[in-house]
């Protein structure tokens, strides 16, 4: 732990997920693709539940998707998010067939609906940590 003022939960990458986090640093959303059967999966994990292979390649997602559901958070459960309230957390169906979750920025809450097109963007959270964010398309 560093001694800085970042007071939000930090990810602890594992050997299974390190390429995902490294990809975000380069503004790429990388997904695991099973080397055994070709299935794409998310979140990163050791094994394909279809063929049990542990071999993966990493593919870059197109970064486009549609809103599956969302919540608008009005309460800061840790102090680090207080200045961002209220914020939208959107669950999104990516074109690749898996889902992701991220803060949706700049969307009018009344415009939120299932199917709303969004694109993935990136935001530097702190030294060594880039997080995905979402923006409404168009």
32 Ramachandran zone, left/alpha/beta (phi>0; psi -120 to 50): beta
Rank residues 34 and 88 by Cβ distance to Zn ion and give the closer one. Answer: 34
Site string for Zn ion, 48-87 (x = CB under 5 A): x-xx-x----------------------------------
Does residue number 37 form part of the binding site for Zn ion (CB under 5 A)? yes
Instruction: Round to whole Å and give the CA distance between 9 and 135.
Output: 22
Instruction: Round to whole Å and give the CA distance between 78 and 127.
Output: 20
Strands of the sheet with 40-41, listed across from one edge:
40-41, 30-34, 56-60
Instruction: Round to whole Å and give the CA distance between 72 and 67.
Output: 13
Does residue number 72 form part of the binding site for other proteins (CB under 8 A)? yes
Beta carbons of 35 and 62 less than 8 angstroms apart: no
Residue from 3, 4, 5, 12 binding other proteins (CB under 8 A): 12
Contacts of other proteins in 83-112 (CB under 8 A)? 84, 86-87, 89, 91, 98-103
Q: Which residues bind other proteins (CB under 8 A)?
A: 8-14, 17, 42-43, 68-75, 77-78, 81, 84, 86-87, 89, 91, 98-103, 113-114, 125, 129, 131-132
Q: Which residues bind Zn ion (CB under 5 A)?
A: 34, 36-37, 39, 48, 50-51, 53
């Amino acid at each position: 732990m560093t001694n800085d003022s970042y007071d939000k939960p930090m990810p602890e990458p594992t050997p299974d997920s390190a390429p995902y986090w490294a990809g975000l640093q380069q503004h790429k959303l990388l997904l695991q693709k099973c080397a055994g059967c070709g299935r794409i999966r998310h979140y990163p994990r050791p094994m394909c539940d279809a063929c049990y292979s542990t071999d993966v390649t990493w593919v870059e997602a197109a970064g486009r998707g549609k809103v599956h559901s969302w919540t608008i958070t009005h309460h800061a459960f840790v102090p680090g998010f207080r200045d961002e309230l209220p914020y939208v957390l959107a669950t999104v169906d990516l074109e690749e067939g898996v889902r992701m979750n991220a803060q949706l920025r700049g969307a009018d809450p009344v415009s939120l609906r299932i199917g709303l097109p969004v694109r993935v963007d990136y935001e530097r959270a702190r030294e060594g940590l880039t997080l995905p964010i979402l923006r409404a398309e168009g």
